[in-house]
Amino acid sequence: MANGRLVEPDVKFINDVIQTGGSSLKKCFQCATCSVVCPLSPEDDPFPRKHMILAQWGQKQALIKDRAIWLCHNCNDCSHYCPRGARPGDVLGAIRAFAIEEYATPKWLARFVRQPKNLFVLFVIPIVLFLIIALLNGTLPPKSPEIKPHNFIPVITGVDIVFVPLALLLVISLFKSLSRLWKDMSVGLEPPSAYQMLLKGGWWGIIVSSLKEILLHERFRKCGAAKERTVPHLLLLWSFIGLAIVTAYVFVAEDIFHAECPFPLSHPIKLLANLSAIALLIGIFWLAKNRLADKDSVSTGWDWSLIFVIMAVGVTGVLAEVFRLAEVAFLAYGFYLLHLSSVFVLFIYLPFSKFAHLAYRTLAYIHEKYYSKV
């Protein structure tokens, strides 16, 4: 009798994938069209055909630790050409959602964040928190006649006291998640020799080449059916980089050098902030338009939640500045409160939301290059 392995399907996982955007899963009959047409699928480990059958068999553990689910960019070439309408791109998207939940620390928070019905609660938490902080600081309502965001929510005893410690917890949580994923992805793989690492340029060379691919969206450009998604994704990515530079600059300027903020519109850092905000708004509304027009994929609450939060960050930030310049204090402070809360929802919940794909995909790129043959 031949040796074999008894496959025990996780029926709950199968049903969860179907309900989380992979409703077409059972239409797949393994014709391999998806792997053939995918411009990103490697010859030695093609996807998504393998992942479709593993999902049909309910092999959750095998799927969530496979780096290929992150190397997939959901460009939907596979779904566009699938003769059965099985939409492999949607199935892999659902699997990624469960992978984030599985590796998140703590898991219960990831389960809570993943449910679109809880988005309202996720926003209410920081709104109430910042209002309490303003009350404790005696700045509710703001006393100064001059309209400045920090006359409402102070810097050190308001913004910093919330974001700095929570950002540290975010980094620790994400580090634990990524460490576990790296360990699981590496099972059975032989690390490269010192000579092979030398040929790859060491860790520095691997990381730099991975970041270059991501920053330029080199793989995304190879996609066909949804190629136009490249530009709005790039706009979003670079707008976040621009806003990160602005945030770091303002943090140092205010907390260390006690600079007067907000800066005038002509200030270089203010110009960068406004240009980045415009790029963010163009990018996210463009992506929303593309998603509405895409007939080859299913948009779930998981997808739209992230789009909505990014929209909220951009719109509230711009309106807070507009009403500050127009000297409408009530609206300026109101939208600033909503802006801070939106930023909180986007970044503090990052390890538990779809936004975590930035970190997971980057890790998958690095892992692939580390274990690849020279």
Q: For the chain, what is the domain count?
A: 2
Same domain, 270 and 147: yes
CA neighbours within 13 Å on the CB side: how many for 147? Answer: 17
Same domain, 98 and 120: no
Residue 108 counted as domain residue: no
Per-residue model confidence as pLDDT tens digits over 275-324: 999 999 999 999 999 888 877 677 788 889 999 999 999 999 999 999 99
Mean pLDDT of the chain, nearest integer = 91
- Cα 12 to chain centroid, rounded: 26
Instruction: Give the CA angle between residues 144, 149, 154 to the nearest 5°.
Output: 80
For the segment 106-110, the average pLDDT, to the nearest whole number, is: 92
Same domain, 287 and 211: yes
Q: What phi and psi, each to the nearest 5 degrees, are found at residue 43?
A: -65, -35
What is the b/e burial string over 237-270, where b = at least 16 CB atoms within 10 angstroms of the residue's CB? bbbbebbeebeebbeeebeeeeeeebbeeeeeeb
- The pLDDT score that the predictor gives to residue 226 is 67
Per-residue model confidence as pLDDT tens digits over 265-275: 999 999 999 99
Picking from 47, 75, 103, the residue at the C-terminal end of a domain is 103
Same domain, 158 and 73: no
How far apart (Å, rounded) are the C-alpha atoms in residues 167 and 362? 19
Per-residue model confidence as pLDDT tens digits over 201-232: 999 999 999 999 999 988 888 887 667 788 99
Residue 110 counted as domain residue: no
Given a cut of 50, whether residue 78 has pLDDT beyond it is: yes
Picking from 103, 128, 153, the residue at the C-terminal end of a domain is 103
Same domain, 141 and 37: no
For the segment 341-356, the average pLDDT, to the nearest whole number, is: 95
The pTM for the full model equals 0.93
Same domain, 336 and 221: yes
Picking from 63, 83, 103, the residue at the C-terminal end of a domain is 103
Residue matched to tokens 């699981």: 184
Domain span including residue 357: 115-371
Q: Read off the pLDDT band of 1 (50, 70, 90).
A: very low
